[in-house]
C-alpha cells in the first residue's frame, strides 16, 4: 500500500504538476488503491476527479467513468490528453470514425480512462465491450443523480448498480459535491453491492463570499455587482428563458460581454455560446439551470442569481461553479415573494410523487431559512449539510455588514414549547395552527387545542411565524427531518434557549429590501493582486491564442492559478518552470518554452 501511495505522489508531481494532495484526497486514493468501494462527498473544486484518475494510472487497466454530460466528457478528455494520459469517451456526439478509434484503443489496452454516458453504458454491446476490456473500476460522477432524494434525480442513473455487477468484479467509486444524509444513504443502497467507505470531506468553500438580498431594483443591483468584476468570467442564473435573453441584452448595453444560454435556443447557438465561455476570458454567461453541470471552468470569479434558486442543494451546486481554482470568488442571490410563490407552484405542478413533493417543499424552506438567516450565512449553509460546529466566516454579507435584529427569545420559546409539547412529531403548519389558535380538524384530533401554547402567538401572522421557524432553523435551535414529513425537533442549543439559559436574536427585516452600507466585494485577491498585471495580461493572451489553435478551453492549456504563479515567480528556465503549480512533464514539454519566452520578452520590456 505504501508503494502505491508513493507512486501516486510521484505521478501527482510528474503528470499533474501538483506538489501535494488537497485535503481529503489522500485518504480516498488510499482506499481506492486498497480495492475498497468508495462513496465520497467532496465540495466542488476539491479535486474529485483526481481521486479516480490517479488510482487508474497507478494500478493500470481500464477505469470507466460515468458522466452525465457530453460537454463534461469532452473537457475531461481534453485535459487528460494534454497531460499525456490515454483517455477517450463514448457518447452520442462521436462520429463513427471516433468510435472505431475508441474500440481499437480498448481492445489494445491503451486507454486508461473511458468516459461514458449512463444511457450508452446501459447498452448490451457496451457492457460486452467493457467486460472484454477487463474493466477494473467504475467511477460514477454526480452520483446524487441516482437518488430520488437528490436535487437532480435522473432515472438513467438507476441501473448503474446492476451495470456494475454485469461488468464483473469491478470496484465502484462514486463522487458528488452535494448529498445530505438522506441522499447519501440512498446512493449507498442503490449503487453498491457491498458497504462502501464513505468520505464526507466537508461542504465549506471558504474562498466564496456569500451574499443574499431581497429584491428591490434587481436589475441595478446586478449591474453594480457585475461591474465590479469587469474582465472576469461569471455566470448569472435566471428563472426563465425570456429573462436570460433580456438580461444578457441589458448587460451588453452596459458594456459587458454577456451571452444567453437556455434549452430553447438553437443547439448551434447554445454550443457556440458555451464554447466561447469556456475558451475565452471575461465572458458572462446569463443562463437558466440548463447550464452548469459538467462545466469544469476553474476561473469563474462570480455567480449571481437574478432569481431565487430551486432549493438549497441547487443553490450550493450553482454557487460552487465559482472559484474552483481555490482563489477568491463572489456570489450574490436575489430573492422575493414572487420567487417563493413560483417555486412552490412548480413543486405542486410537477409530476413528482407526494413524498418527493414534500421533500422538495422542505428543501425550499431550508433555502428560505438561509435567505433569512440571523447569523453567518456559511454557518447556516454548513449546518444544513450536518456541519454544526463551524465558526462565523467573516466572508458573507451578514458577517461583514450586519443585519437589523430584535430579541427573539420569547418568540423562539413559544415555537419550541409547541414543538416539545406535541412530542416533536409535527411539521410547520400544524405547529403554526397551535401558535395562532386555529381550531383545525387535526388540532382537535390530537387535543392540541387544550395545550397551554394554543393561541399564544395570535398577535403575529402565519407568514411571520413561518419566517421565525426558518430563522430558528438557520440559527441551529431546531432541526427538521425532511424524510419524516418535515417534523421539527429541538437541538441542545434550542433547549438552552427554551429553558431561559440563553437568548436568541432574530431578524427584523426578513424578506424586506436591505438598507445600509455596502462593502466592496472580495475580488481577485491575494497572489493575484501581487502579480504584475501587465505580465499576467500577456500570459492570458498567449494562453488564449494557444487554446484557439488547439481547439480547447483556455484552462486546458493552463488555469489562472498557474499563470498567476508564473507572473509572480518569473521562472527563467525550464527547470524553474517545472516547479510551478500545474506544470507537469507533458505541459512543460509542450508549452513551457513559449511561456518562458513571453516572460523573458515582458521582463526586457519592463
pLDDT band at 525 (very low <50, low <70, confident <90, very high): very low
In a domain, 516, yes or no: no
pLDDT single digits (tens) 264-308? 999 899 989 988 998 888 999 999 988 876 577 889 999 999 999
pLDDT at 260: 96
Query: Does 38 map to a domain?
Result: yes
Residues 391, 422 share a domain = no
Q: What per-residue confidence (pLDDT) applies to 511?
A: 36
Distance CA 114, CA 368 (A): 41
Among candidate residues 200, 223, 258, the one where a domain is terminated: 200
Question: Which grid cell is 299?
Answer: 476561473
Instruction: Assess whether 134 and 48 both reside in one domain.
Output: yes
> Does 83 share its domain with 152?
yes
Compute the distance between CA of residue 322 and CA of residue 41 in angstroms, rounded to an integer.
18
pLDDT band at 149 (very low <50, low <70, confident <90, very high): low
What is the average per-residue pLDDT within 129-158?
A: 84
Query: Sign of the C-alpha dihedral, residues 319, 176, 89, 148?
Result: negative
pLDDT of the residue at 201: 81
- Are residue 393 and residue 409 in the same domain, yes or no? no
Structural domain including 569 reads 527-605
Same domain as 570, residue 466: no
The confidence score (pLDDT) of residue 214 equals 81
524 vs 164, more confident: 164
End residue of a domain, out of 351, 381, 398: 398
**Most confident of the ranges 398-407, 474-483, 519-528:** 398-407
Residue 520 within any structural domain of the chain: no
- Sheet with 62-66: strands ordered across: 87-90, 113-116, 62-66, 135-140, 171-176, 38-41, 197-200
Please indicate, yes or no, whether residues 214 and 189 belong to a single structural domain of this protein: no
Instruction: Please check whether residue 580 lies inside any domain of the structure.
Output: yes
- Sequence-ordered list of residues with C-beta below 8 angstroms from that of 362, at least 6 positions apart, any chain: 480, 482, 486
Q: Are residues 414 and 367 in the same domain?
A: no
The CATH number assigned to the domain holding 584 equals 1.10.150.80
Average pLDDT over residues 578-597: 93
Look at residues 166, 181, 200 and tell me which one is the last residue of a structural domain: 200
Minimum mean pLDDT among 26-40, 125-139, 358-372, 486-500: which range? 358-372
Together in a domain, 393 and 423: no
Q: How many helices, marked H, and strands, marked E, lie in the chain?
A: 28, 18
And the C-alpha cell for 140?
460514477
Pairing between strand 405-407 and 505-507? Answer: antiparallel
Task: Let me know if residue 160 belongs to a domain.
Answer: yes
Statement: residue 56 has pLDDT above 60: yes
- What mean pLDDT do residues 402-431 have? 93
Query: How far apart, in Å, are the Cα atoms of 592 and each of 84, 103, 482, 539, 597?
Result: 15, 33, 53, 12, 9
In this predicted structure, what is the pLDDT of residue 524?
Answer: 39
Asked if residue 443 belongs to a domain, the reply is yes
DSSP assignment of 152-208 equals: T--GGGTTHHHHHHHT-S-EEEEEES---HHHHHHHHHHH-SSPPEEEE-----TTE
Q: What CATH number has the domain bearing residue 476?
A: 1.10.10.10
Count how many domains the chain has: 4
- The helix or strand, by DSSP H or E, that contains position 486, with its residue range, turns out to be none
Residues 413 and 500 both lie in one domain: yes
pLDDT of residue 606: 52
Residues 350 and 465 in one domain: no
Q: Are residues 394 and 409 in the same domain?
A: no
- pLDDT value at residue 51: 95
Residue 517 domain-assigned?
no
Per the prediction, the chain carries an average pLDDT of 87
CATH number at residue 291: 3.40.50.300
Q: Is residue 521 a part of any domain in this protein?
A: no
Asked if 86 contacts 110 with a C-beta cutoff of 8 angstroms, the reply is yes
DSSP H/E element including 141: none
Residue that is written with C-alpha cell 466542488 in the block: 44
- Split at pLDDT 50, 70, 90, the class of 179 is confident
- Identify whether residues 420 and 393 lie together within a single domain: no
- Residue 557's pLDDT band, with cuts at 50, 70 and 90, is very high
Question: Residue 389: is its pLDDT beyond 90?
Answer: no
3-state helix, strand, coil in the chain (%, to 5): 50, 15, 40
Amino acid at each position: 500500500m505504501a508503494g502505491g501511495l508513493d507512486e501516486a505522489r510521484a505521478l501527482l508531481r510528474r503528470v499533474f504538476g501538483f506538489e501535494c494532495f488537497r485535503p481529503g484526497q489522500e485518504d480516498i486514493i488510499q482506499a481506492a488503491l486498497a480495492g475498497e468501494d468508495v462513496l465520497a462527498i467532496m465540495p466542488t473544486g476539491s479535486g474529485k476527479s483526481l481521486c479516480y484518475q490517479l488510482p487508474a494510472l497507478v494500478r493500470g487497466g481500464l477505469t470507466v467513468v460515468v458522466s452525465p454530460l457530453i460537454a463534461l466528457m469532452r473537457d475531461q478528455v481534453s485535459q487528460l490528453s494534454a497531460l499525456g494520459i490515454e483517455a477517450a469517451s463514448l457518447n452520442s456526439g462521436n462520429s463513427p470514425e471516433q468510435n472505431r478509434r475508441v474500440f481499437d484503443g480498448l481492445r489494445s489496452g491503451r486507454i486508461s480512462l473511458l468516459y461514458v454516458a449512463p444511457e450508452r453504458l446501459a447498452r448490451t454491446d457496451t457492457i460486452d465491450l467493457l467486460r472484454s476490456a477487463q474493466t477494473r473500476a467504475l467511477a460514477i460522477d454526480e452520483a446524487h443523480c441516482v437518488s430520488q432524494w437528490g436535487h437532480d434525480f435522473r432515472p438513467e442513473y438507476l441501473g448503474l448498480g446492476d451495470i456494475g455487477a454485469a461488468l464483473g468484479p469491478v470496484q465502484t467509486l462514486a463522487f458528488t459535491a452535494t448529498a445530505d444524509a438522506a441522499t447519501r444513504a440512498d446512493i449507498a443502497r442503490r449503487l453498491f453491492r457491498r458497504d462502501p467507505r464513505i468520505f464526507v470531506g466537508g461542504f465549506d468553500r471558504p474562498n466564496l463570499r456569500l451574499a443574499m438580498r431581497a429584491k428591490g431594483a434587481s436589475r441595478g443591483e446586478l449591474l453594480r455587482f457585475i461591474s465590479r468584476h469587469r474582465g472576469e468570467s461569471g455566470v448569472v442564473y435566471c428563472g426563465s428563458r425570456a429573462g436570460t435573453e433580456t438580461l444578457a441584452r441589458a448587460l451588453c448595453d452596459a458594456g459587458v460581454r454577456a451571452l444567453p444560454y437556455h434549452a430553447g435556443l438553437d443547439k448551434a447557438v447554445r454550443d457556440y455560446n458555451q464554447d466561447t465561455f469556456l475558451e475565452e476570458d471575461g465572458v458572462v454567461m446569463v443562463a437558466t439551470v440548463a447550464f452548469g453541470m459538467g462545466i469544469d471552468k476553474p476561473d469563474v470569479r462570480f455567480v449571481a442569481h437574478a432569481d431565487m434558486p430551486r432549493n438549497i442543494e441547487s443553490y450550493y451546486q450553482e454557487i460552487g461553479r465559482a472559484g474552483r481554482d481555490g482563489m477568491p470568488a463572489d456570489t450574490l442571490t436575489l430573492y422575493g415573494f414572487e420567487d417563493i410563490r413560483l417555486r412552490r407552484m412548480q413543486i405542486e405542478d410537477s409530476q413528482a410523487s407526494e413524498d418527493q413533493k414534500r421533500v422538495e417543499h422542505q428543501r425550499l424552506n431550508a433555502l428560505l431559512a438561509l435567505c433569512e438567516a440571523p447569523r453567518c450565512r456559511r454557518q447556516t449553509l454548513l449546518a444544513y449539510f450536518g456541519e454544526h460546529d463551524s465558526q462565523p466566516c467573516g466572508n458573507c454579507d451578514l458577517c461583514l455588514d450586519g443585519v437589523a435584529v430584535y430579541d427573539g427569545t420569547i418568540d423562539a420559546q413559544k415555537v419550541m414549547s409547541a414543538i416539545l409539547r406535541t412530542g416533536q412529531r409535527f411539521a410547520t403548519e400544524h405547529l403554526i395552527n397551535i401558535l395562532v389558535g386555529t381550531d383545525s380538524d387535526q388540532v382537535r384530533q390530537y387535543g392540541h387545542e387544550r395545550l397551554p401554547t394554543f393561541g399564544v402567538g395570535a398577535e403575529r401572522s402565519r407568514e411571520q411565524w413561518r419566517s421565525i421557524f426558518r430563522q430558528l432553523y438557520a440559527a441551529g435551535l431546531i432541526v427538521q427531518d425532511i424524510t419524516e414529513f418535515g417534523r421539527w425537533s429541538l437541538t441542545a442549543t434550542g433547549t438552552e434557549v427554551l429553558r431561559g439559559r440563553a437568548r436568541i436574536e432574530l431578524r427584523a427585516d426578513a424578506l424586506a429590501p436591505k438598507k445600509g452600507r455596502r462593502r466592496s466585494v472580495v475580488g481577485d485577491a491575494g497572489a493575484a493582486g501581487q502579480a504584475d498585471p501587465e505580465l499576467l495580461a500577456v500570459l492570458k493572451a498567449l494562453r488564449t491564442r494557444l487554446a484557439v489553435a488547439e481547439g480547447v478551453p483556455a484552462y486546458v492549456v493552463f488555469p489562472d492559478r498557474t499563470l498567476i504563479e508564473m507572473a509572480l515567480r518569473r521562472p527563467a528556465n525550464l527547470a524553474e518552470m517545472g516547479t510551478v503549480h500545474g506544470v507537469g512533464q507533458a505541459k512543460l514539454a509542450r508549452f513551457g518554452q513559449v511561456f518562458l519566452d513571453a516572460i523573458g520578452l515582458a521582463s526586457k520590456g519592463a
